[in-house]
Amino acid sequence: MPRARHVEKHFTAGQTVRDIVIGMADGLTVPFALAAGLSGAVSSTAIIVTAGLAEIAAGSIAMGLGGYLAAKSDAEHYESERKREKREVAQIPEEEREEVARVFRGYGLSASEIQPIVEALSQRPQQWIDFMMRFELGLEEPDPKRALSSALTIGGAYIAGGLVPLAPYMLLHDRFTALWFSIAVTLIALVVFGYVKGRLTTAKPIRSALQTALTGSAAAGAAFLIARAIS
């Protein structure tokens, strides 16, 4: 469907930006929290780095591969629902006509106003199916080719995000010094990330910045307290 000129004001982030946001939000948060938690329990920064890198490997694959398989499933789900609609339009057209009518009754249109729409769609089976997919089932056609690049973008963003909180532990030997540097660089990264994310998606960038910083801090605080309590 072509977009109206002034519609561009309704900005929604592009798919790649969304994938980066998804991967980096978790990548900045979970390895940060894990490393902070372990700082309260183990004395060796080598173990913290090992655990952090293992987590980054696990998390990036879980998010990337999980996202890839989910996108593939979505594409197949769309295809199978589309085949079903195609069959229904051919085999039980009266019920499908009634469904079109029901969509527009929901918008307050009268029977005599609805009749021409139903007629028009039922003369165009292909567009009728498209209409049912979107307006009855609320399904958008997924792009199966995006699954791979989306998986790599999410996984890569997770790795990039996860290396930020881990870098101080790689460079410094004292775990508490590393912890404070990790908190500092990660909070800065979370605030910048949240701000940019807010600019790109919701137009409340300062609140977005505070929210990502809060989420990261809460996760790290809980991990620290739990690791401390059991060690």
Residue with Cβ nearer a second copy (153 or 224): 224
Measuring CA to CA, how many Å separate 158 from each of 3, 13, 58, 217? 33, 18, 10, 18
Residue with Cβ nearer a second copy (28 or 153): 28
Smallest distance, a second copy to C-beta of residue 231, A? 5
Smallest distance, a second copy to C-beta of residue 108, A? 4
Q: How far apart are CA 223 and CA 48, in angstroms?
A: 13
Residue with Cβ nearer a second copy (52 or 153): 52
Nearest to 190 by CA among 219, 166, 221, 211: 211
Q: How far apart are CA 102 and CA 109, in angstroms?
A: 10
Residue with Cβ nearer a second copy (178 or 227): 227
Largest CA distance in the chain: 78
Smallest distance, a second copy to C-beta of residue 56, A? 8
Q: How far apart are CA 136 and CA 129, in angstroms?
A: 10
Smallest distance, a second copy to C-beta of residue 96, A? 9
